[in-house]
Structure 1
Amino acid sequence: MREAVLVLEDGRTFRGEAYGAVGTTVGEAVFATGMTGYQETLTDPSYAGQVVVMTAPHVGNTGVNDEDDESRRMWVAGFVVRDPARRPANWRATGSLDDELAAQGVVGISGIDTRALTRHIRERGAMRVGITSERGDRDALLARVQAAPRMEGADLAPGVSTTEPYVVPAEGEKRFTIAALDLGIKTATPRHLAALGVETHVLPATATAADLLAAGPDGVFLSNGPGDPAAAGYAVEAVRGVLEARRPLFGICFGNQILGRALGLGTYKLRFGHRGLNQPVLDRVSGTVRVTSHNHGFAVDAPLDRPTGTPHGAVEVSHVGLNDDVVEGLRCLEVPAFSVQFHPEAAAGPHDAAPLFQRFVDLMAAHRDDGEAVGPPPVVEHTTGEKA
């Protein structure tokens, strides 16, 4: 096997074997705690620029298939696993993970102590990292890592977004039409909305408020995506225009941060972020706890104990992370807008938060019925057995 080396920006070094493509890569080291769903992780645009460390020891057991991709390609900057499967064993597999990583040029490393690496990131915080399976000097790789740009200030959404608008039709009778700002949207999102009778018009990340409102949509959706929300001023300005038009709005993940900044709230870099399929969140609106899928390194800065006044009226924190009290959702009280920091579409799971799409539909229905309806989204609990 070809040797590979991983070097963190603080000099910590791990040696293992090449996995995936042979080469050299640099990015931000982050860890993902999901025991399943590695194909969805690899193809999630929110991971652009990041070297993902899988905390589950066995990866690749189910291979890859042609149905579970969340976008047109793999976006991770690198991939780190402890014990890769020697061969896939699943009836849906169309190939092995190792071969697919190599085919898409994703440089990885296997056979290292991922638990020790994860603990190091938890203690020191997310940091830049390099992986190489080419013969080279370890000190030269360290210098390259230390010279690489940080995630703070990185404007990555335009690079993963669609370049041309496209439409995902509703399933069955069309009930609503929405405009979706593609900051790194996953295929599961418009699929969930389509099942609720929503036709989704997906627009590039740099679309303006005028672009989003041009076709008179019933609502506007802000997708997940990568990078620092403070660097995406174009999206913030677009959302301010939507808020001024009082059009129903729903944002997830990066979209939650963009809504926060559009309301005048701040955002900040988390020490090591939340990534995985098992993050507990308190829904303060319904009084329930949801186990949710996360992938974010930034968060909204807002008080948990009281509503905040903004140019668009009061806003309150609707969801809170139970591990660390991080803001996980916003609910505007005077305009029809809300957002969450996690993924309600949640492929490959869990599906506790899927009813939030119905909450968005309820908000659009209320706004349509009342014409100039304002105020917070209606709270209607729905159960769903649908799978992302």
Structure 2
Amino acid sequence: MDFTFTEEQQAATEAARAVFSKATPDAVPSPALVEGAVADDFDRPLWAKLAQADLLSLLLAPAYGGAGLDPVALCLVLRESAKVLARVPLLETSAVALAVQRYGAPELAGSVLPSAGRGELVLTAAVHGRTGHDPAQLAVTARRTDGADWVLDGVQTAVPWAQQADLVAVPAHTGAGRPVLALVPRTRTGVTLADQVSTSGERLAEIRLDAVRVRAHEVITEAGAGEWLRTLLVVGTCAQALGLGEQVLAMTADYTSQREQFGFPVATFQAVAVQAADRYIDLRAMEATLWQAAWRLGTGAEGALPLAGDVAVAKTWASDGVRRTVQTAQHLHGGVGADTDYPLHRYHAWAKQLELSLGPAAAHEEALGDLLAVHPLNRSAAERP
């Protein structure tokens, strides 16, 4: 079996490296508690370069101006973006666009996707619910009016890039408990934003919807749309954690190779080498579980567990792995790693955000346990078909 990436996926990786090669994490706001640490906007010049390189339309069908690639290609690009802490809504815009392509009405797809692929339309998703712990669709109610429109009421927290997004994908539920996914313009009457600050120092927003009216074609009623969107966001977050971890380990290798103690580079000390080797193993496990989840998400292939199982395994490794990697990096850098002017400080803050975003390792371990509990192999012989 051939596990190499396709030519198209490799081309996407090379294009991403070319775009991000000129980006630098020095421009990333530090989460230090100082006035003005939070940036007001994302990196618009970098966003334009991504659009020019056709990296914003990777997953879109050719009919919408895209390359028709799969989530693996997106994860390859996200991996490169995280190495430089790219401040762009690449994951959110790509994930929402693909969900619209898969589940949305032709009218919605035609009005959103071409513009999103050109970088003219910024998309984001409100998938953390009201508190960050409950299913997102439970935080917002959706009811039909006498006509064909819908009315939304509720609150969603920790929405990334909400202040800059043109459309926000909002999971909601009907009176009968049926989940729906609405694309709500940020400027629509009844939508209000309250600023929040993430662990990484980036702006988030609490979105409040008070009798917000959305048109029929702006609401996706097909079952599974909201859950599929969240799944892609989780997998994309794993890709970002992998890229960040790889960059941090490379920084640590460079530093320990140059810093000398007792006349020798500290990288030659067994205690240092073993810790770095352990983190390398973490990164390879993160990579293997990521590609398994991304491949199944894109192909719909069957596995020993449902797709949710592979996603839970990938996020568990991503959360624990990226945390251990930055902790080891801080330890091996010594006092330099604690300097807020040194890039490692920002990587550490972003790693913590990625670790907890869309559920920490413990939450996904619990989800995996629930799946294993109902697995056919876990039943008694009398219960099996």
Q: TM-score interval w.r.t. the shorter chain?
A: under 0.3
- The structure showing larger relative contact order (alpha-carbon pairs under 8 Å, at least 6 residues apart) is 2
TM-score (norm. length: structure 2): 0.24
TM-score (norm. length: structure 1): 0.24
- Structure number with the higher helix fraction is 2
- Structure number with the higher strand fraction is 1
